Structure formats: structure tokens, C-alpha cells
Amino acid sequence: MDSDLRQRLAAYLEFQRELGVERLRITPSSLAALAPASAATAAPAPALAAAPRRPQTSAASSMPPFHPAPASDPVPSSLRTPAYSPSGSFASAAAPPAAPPADPAAELVHIRADLGDCTRCKLHRLGRRQIVFGAGNPGAELVFVGEGPGADEDLQGLPFVGRAGQLLTDMIQKGMGLDRAAVYICNVVKCRPPQNRTPESDECAACSPFLRRQLLAIRPKLIIALGACAAQNLLAFKGSLASVRGRLHPLELDGWNTQLLITYHPAYLLRDPSQKREAWKDLQIAMRFLGLPRA
């Protein structure tokens, strides 16, 4: 076994052990699935953090390709909910569906420029150092949406770079077998709430149009909402997070249709590691939907 495959196997086994899996059957096909995916070997996508004003015209086309989903639908209907359009700050205007942007990377740069040195909500005067716009592949088929930047993110200008970010990276890389640079990661609010409190509804309302524009620029096949804040801003629902996770929710934004999966926030998983197994089940739904080899 070559050293790269050995390392990948060790990382995968460690991830499974953290999930509480004690016995695992390794077959030739599971070993084959650990071989580097094309998405994992391509050059990393440029981060879009910290207001890149420079036009990026063709970055999307050079992004790592994603595994195509199989033609037949691998997700049983029991894991789907009926079509749904979000309400509140995410409600679509009654306008006809906008055409997909020709250049998602350039569109993201444009959105970042529109956001500017934002003062639309009170978070700008509550101690934020910088805006954390989002980072990753503008051509991603998978987008993760978190709540809002914490202290590390505020310092670095990048989403999910602290402890919770490390766990998210492990979930993406060790669990799903993707390179973090192949996906796109952003938050509902782009500025750090003081003491890492949950963003308030007026703050989410001020920032949500930018999240919606990011999603409409990237048009991923699947959005994964991390935790209740992201879930509630993308899908109006009553009840607990547990009641909406574990299945795909059709989501319509301005006439464009995609799928939403809701799972636990990595910070919650750090506090209650016993829920990691449930989060792993959610990731497996995502992997099946996206046709990823480890699913």
C-alpha cells in the first residue's frame, strides 16, 4: 500500500473512531474509494475572503471538478420533504428566475464589493475586526452555511478556521473524502457577534440578501446548513433541529431550485461528541445525493 493511501486510510479510521465506530470492514472497494478524488487533487480554489476587488474572470472554470451525481436518484423519497420556498428575509421576490451568472467567481467578487465596509446592522460597531465573506470554490456543488464568524474567523477573515472549523474540515476531508477547497463555506452573518452570541434577527435580515446572492452565484447542487441559525434562515420551520435534520429539503431561491440538508453545527458536536454519529448520517445522505464514492 503506498504511503498516500496509508495516510488516507489512517485519517479515515481515526475519523470513524471519533464517531464511536469500533469495528469497520475494509474491502477492496472501500480502499478504492479512499484513493484521491479528482476534486481533492486539483489546485485549491482562491479564498474570497477579505474583499478581493481584483476581477477574477475565469476562476470558476478552473475549479476542481466535483463528482457528478448518478443519473438515478440515490436518495429515497422518505428522505425528502415536499418542495418549499423560504419565507422571511430569504423569501424570493415575485421576479422571474434570474439567469445563472456566466462567471460565478466574478459574481462573488461583485457581491463582496457591494457589501463593502458594511454598516447595515449593529454588528459593525460591536467589535468586529473585519468582514468574513466566505471562502472556497465558486463552482462548488456543495456549500456549507454556518452561523457567523467567531474570534479566529474575525482575526483571519476566513470562515471556520477555529476549533469548530477544524472539525468541519475533518468532516469534509476525512469523512466525505473531499478537499476543503472543493466546497464553498460561508455564514449567515458576515461579522462576528459579540461574545459569539447567536446573531439576532435584525442582523440576519440585514445580511441574508448577501447570503442569498452568494448561493445564487454559486448555485450548488446541495446546501448544508450547520446548526439552527443557518437552518432557520434558509428554511422556515417550527420545532427542533432534530426534527428537520436527516433528510433533504427542496429549496427554491428566486426561481432556482436546489436541495438543503440540515445538520448539527460543529461547535455543538465539540460540546456533545455523542451527536457526531448523527451528523455522520447526515453527511452520508449528502454523499449519496452527490454521488461521492465513499457513500
Binding site for ligand URA (CB under 6 A): 146-150, 153, 159-160, 164-165, 187, 267
The nearer residue to ligand URA, 37 or 189, going by C-beta atoms, is 189
The nearer residue to ligand URA, 39 or 267, going by C-beta atoms, is 267
Least distance in angstroms from the C-beta of 220 to ligand URA: 18
Report CA dihedral (91, 92, 94, 95) to the nearest 10 degrees: 160
Least distance in angstroms from the C-beta of 286 to ligand URA: 18
The nearer residue to ligand URA, 156 or 295, going by C-beta atoms, is 156
Tell me the residue nearest to ligand URA as measured from the CB. 146
Least distance in angstroms from the C-beta of 147 to ligand URA: 3
Q: Do 24 and 164 meet the contact criterion of CB atoms below 8 Å apart?
A: no
Q: Cβ atoms within 10 A of the Cβ of 290, count?
A: 23
Question: Which three cell numbers mark 272?
Answer: 456533545
Least distance in angstroms from the C-beta of 269 to ligand URA: 12
- Residue found by looking up cell 467567531 in the block: 150
Least distance in angstroms from the C-beta of 75 to ligand URA: 26
What's the CA gap between 56 and 59, in Å, rounded? Answer: 6
Least distance in angstroms from the C-beta of 44 to ligand URA: 18
The nearer residue to ligand URA, 37 or 224, going by C-beta atoms, is 224
Give the DSSP letter of residue 291. T
> Beta-strand (E) ranges in 118-205?
135-136, 142-146, 184-187
- Exposure of 209 by Cβ count < 10 A (0-12 exposed, 13-18 middle, 19+ buried)? middle
Pairing verdict, β 222-226 and 142-146: parallel
The nearer residue to ligand URA, 46 or 165, going by C-beta atoms, is 165
The nearer residue to ligand URA, 16 or 89, going by C-beta atoms, is 89
